[in-house]
């Protein structure tokens, strides 16, 4: 029986972007103007996002976990403290990269690459605990109505822009059937006349193959595609927010 999973899809999106940044840190041409600053900014943005994600979990998920499975909640609290220390050290190293002189840049780049991969290793272990300890504990001690309420409350706390950003980050990383189901829910929750622009807005991060597969599985009317191509009526963020809160 399918149960509401509060971690699965968002964690898949995080993993995909963590790995992609690791690859980019390793193969970037650090000698080009602006590349060091760009890589540093991406690292800082990612650690900021992961901290915000932890805060959201603490507010919306772990409160219920503390009530029903306090030992699992204590383990996650300790994980978050440990990771925050690691992220602080990583942030400092990222900020130093653009200040390195030209001769030292290649080694500074590789040092940040190694530090980033070490942080990924620690974060993957944390995700594993959430997915194999925390979520099963919630399944044992809470019903789907309670879990759905957590999911709804979290999405209600997001701005329309944040909801759209979350969808764009997550959709490329999930399987086609899951992607289609998520997008269909978003479209069904919004006004029909805005469906084309909504679909176009939330699918901007998909690969061409993913985009084509999604449109095919949704059986998108040709008129939607025309409106999307023309960029008419971008009310997608508002529609996405309503869908995520429904």
CATH code, domain with 53: 1.20.120.520
| Boundary (domain end) residue, out of 118, 134, 153 | 153
Indicate whether 2 belongs to any domain.
Answer: no
Q: Are residues 142 and 174 in the same domain?
A: no
Q: Are residues 89 and 125 in the same domain?
A: yes
Rounded to whole angstroms, how far apart are CA atoms 111 and 215? 42
Rounded to whole angstroms, how far apart are CA atoms 197 and 195? 6
The chain-wide mean pLDDT, for the chain, equals: 88
Q: Are 236 and 201 in contact (CB under 8 A)?
A: yes
Per-residue confidence band for 160, with pLDDT thresholds at 50, 70 and 90:
confident
Q: Are residues 90 and 168 in the same domain?
A: no
Question: Among 147, 150, 230, 221, which Cα is nearest to 187's?
Answer: 221
Indicate whether 238 belongs to any domain.
Answer: yes
Q: Give the single-character DSSP code of 105.
A: H
| Boundary (domain end) residue, out of 114, 131, 153 | 153
Indicate whether 3 belongs to any domain.
Answer: no
Q: Are residues 165 and 124 in the same domain?
A: no
Rounded to whole angstroms, how far apart are CA atoms 181 and 19? 25
Indicate whether 1 belongs to any domain.
Answer: no
Mean pLDDT over 30-54 rounds to 96
| Boundary (domain end) residue, out of 104, 128, 153 | 153
- Model pTM? 0.86
Mean pLDDT over 174-202 rounds to 90
| Residue-number span of the structural domain to which 51 is assigned | 8-153
Mean pLDDT over 12-33 rounds to 97
Q: Are residues 76 and 145 in the same domain?
A: yes
Cα-Cα-Cα-Cα dihedral sign, residues 219, 208, 198, 14: positive
Question: Among 246, 175, 177, 189, which Cα is nearest to 218's?
Answer: 177
Rounded to whole angstroms, how far apart are CA atoms 35 and 54? 29
Per-residue pLDDT, 233: 41
Query: Is the pLDDT assigned to residue 245 strictly greater than 60?
Result: no
Per-residue pLDDT, 229: 52
């Amino acid at each position: 029986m399918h149960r509401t999973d509060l971690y699965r899809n968002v964690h898949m999106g995080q993993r995909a972007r963590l790995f992609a940044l690791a690859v980019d840190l390793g193969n970037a041409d650090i000698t080009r103007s602006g590349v060091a600053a760009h890589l540093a900014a991406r690292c800082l943005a990612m650690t900021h996002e992961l901290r915000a994600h932890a805060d959201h979990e603490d507010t919306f998920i772990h409160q219920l976990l503390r009530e029903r499975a306090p030992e699992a909640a204590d383990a996650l609290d300790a994980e978050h403290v440990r990771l925050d220390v690691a992220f602080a050290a990583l942030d400092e190293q990222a900020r130093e990269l653009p200040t390195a002189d030209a001769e030292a840049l290649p080694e500074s780049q590789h040092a940040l690459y190694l530090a980033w991969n070490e942080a990924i290793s620690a974060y993957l272990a944390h995700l594993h605990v959430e997915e194999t300890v925390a979520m099963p504990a919630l399944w044992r001690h809470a019903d789907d109505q309670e879990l759905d309420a957590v999911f709804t409350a979290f999405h209600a706390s997001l701005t329309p822009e944040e909801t759209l950003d979350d969808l764009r980050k997550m959709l490329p990383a999930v399987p086609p059937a899951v992607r289609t189901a998520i997008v269909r829910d978003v479209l069904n929750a919004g006004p029909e006349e805005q469906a084309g622009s909504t679909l176009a807005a939330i699918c901007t991060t998909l690969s061409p193959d993913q985009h084509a597969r999604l449109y095919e599985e949704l059986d998108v009317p040709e008129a939607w595609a025309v409106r999307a191509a023309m960029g008419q009526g971008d009310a997608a963020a508002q529609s996405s927010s309503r869908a995520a809160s429904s």
